Structure 1
Amino acid sequence: MDFLNTIALLKFNPCIHNIPYALLKCNTLNSEDEMEYNRYTLHCKLDEILKEHDNMSVLKLSKEIGHRRTTIMELMHNTNMEKKKISAALIVKLCLYFDISPNELFEVRPKE
């Protein structure tokens, strides 16, 4: 993957379903918008991606991309995603390693 494609990965838009455009566009949310926003969460599809790659282990992925196994496990299990800070470096590593876009790695879903 060349440099321009890597930069393009950083300028991704999450896969968003049924979220009013106004919520995504505005910088400040009123209380009605805030209630709507709180109905959604970021979901990482790393578990599905690992299964598609011959049930790759988290340990192997961790060693190959040089990132903490704990962080990868948290993403795989979508642990505390509402408060999680995911580094751009980790997103780029995962996308390049699996040859996917951030839209294939993450999606916005209604909370269950």
Structure 2
Amino acid sequence: MNEFWAGVQEAGLTPETREALRKRYRMRGQKAIEAVESGRVKKYHDFFVVQGRSEEYIVEDDFCTCKDFTYRGRCCWHILAARIAALTGRYTPVNAWYLDIMGRNR
């Protein structure tokens, strides 16, 4: 983990880390902060899931199922939100496998 993310983990979402995230990631950073603070990040046994405007997106490490990631192949705000949530512990734990839940909803 690089120094920037180690600082986020150590300090949490302070005004300083929020500003650093906005400076480094611009609008993606802002959207990620908003998702974490509004409780739209869930941690299942198998994946982090981030609620976007209209859909949920699966995030695993540096991969996301959103169209932005698919087309650009770079870090989207869902990945940032999952990373921030993981490092700060600010996510909703779900005691289930996401794939099992999705399979039941089909």
TM surpasses 0.5: no
Structure (1/2) with the larger strand percentage: 2
Report 1 or 2 for greater relative contact order, CA contacts < 8 Å, sequence distance ≥ 6: 1
- Which entry has the higher C-alpha Rg, 1 or 2? 1
TM (norm. structure 2) is 0.29
TM-score by length of 1: 0.28
